[in-house]
Structure 1
Amino acid sequence: MKEYNNVPQLNSENNSYRKTSKIYPFNKRIIDIIGSTIGIIFLFWLFLIIAIIIKMEDPKGPVIFKQKRIGKHGSEFNMYKFRSMVTNAEELLKNLKSESDVTGAMFKMKHDPRVTRIGKFIRKTSIDELPQLWNVLVGNMSLVGPRPPLEKEVMEYSEYDKTRLKVKPGCTGLWQISGRSNIGFKEMVELDLKYINERNTLLDIKIIFRTIKVIFLSEGAY
């Protein structure tokens, strides 16, 4: 485990940390298990189709992209996604950092030259995120929560930013349904802290259904 577990309490006037009800963690885990299981079973056919297309476009690269992410209290885990970029994407990133379309400890580029043809489609529709259902099932992610950051992003965090590591990261959250790639880093942090302060079972369900709408309309994704 990396040394990221010195996570401070929320100290913003608008985001004073509030503990959740005792039953909430149990309800959340049940929703995660049921939701991820149903998703994996009913979308397995889509997994196969996307895997075949990825291999057809780039036979040498893997279908699933595995990446180290930072989770609750700084715990490190492998997050899974369908590969949407060329195999040497990390090497090419060095020359693209100055062209990021968002500020802060996060890289996002609207017309990223590293993205493959099938990658553009699965990123636009968020299909590339579906393998994270496995992360949810095994318990290192939740269906709803803050976006899991990269280690290099956390290295740039302020003490205030680290507060978003107080809870388990999620496949979706307030950030994703509020503009996704159109939201800057600071706004993302504030939305995550707002979620941490207000989270409850009803809010999680609302975010899940709102996410489905956002995905179908492909709002704010690239």
Structure 2
Amino acid sequence: MSEADQTTLELIHGAGMREFLEKGYKSASLRNIVKTAGVTTGAFYGYYDSKEELFEALVKDQYDWFLDCFRNAQQEFADLPRQRQPENLSTVSGECMHEMLLYAYDHLDEFHLILCQSEGTRFSKLIDEMTEIETKATHDYLQVLADLGRQVPEIDEHLEHILITGMFNTFFEMIIHRMPLKKAKHYLKEMRAFYTAGWMKIMGQ
């Protein structure tokens, strides 16, 4: 890509970011993006076929990184010997959440788009996807506890869904409101302690 092409692309990205942050994906105007970028519509279509493609270009890497980090943490925990899983329940997930928080704070605009302005795109499903991953991991862990001979009560699936989505919404509140990172780190620590204790009680541990 030539220097001129790179400059044009940067102008389009900058204009797109501002338009999407202000109006959200659905209400964003491609005409305004092109005008703000100072390029022609034809120049825009030389890079992207639609505003949807532009939105994806702005957030896809961050979205994929987040889900990959979360999946990898769940797999890391599942790969532990079964006898060691109970003692590492909060450690692996805690390290993952801390890493995700730091990453999100390095990309606050992109995550504001994902969390607040992505309705109408596939990126609006971040919490749903994370909930699905967490739910499966929870069921797998309950089976591990049962295999270890521990008493495990049956957990109502609706309560389970409420608690898991509530946990992620709590986590993302810090990012959405752009709380100072120092305060966000403290809140994350408290949140982890709260949810870990609650899950331990529900799981009968």
Same fold (TM over 0.5): no
> Normalized per residue, which structure has more helix?
2
TM-score, normalised via structure 1 length: 0.29
Instruction: Give the structure with higher Rg (CA).
Output: 2
TM-score, normalised with respect to structure 2: 0.31
Structure with more contact order per residue of length (Cα contacts < 8 Å, sep ≥ 6) = 1
Higher strand share: 1
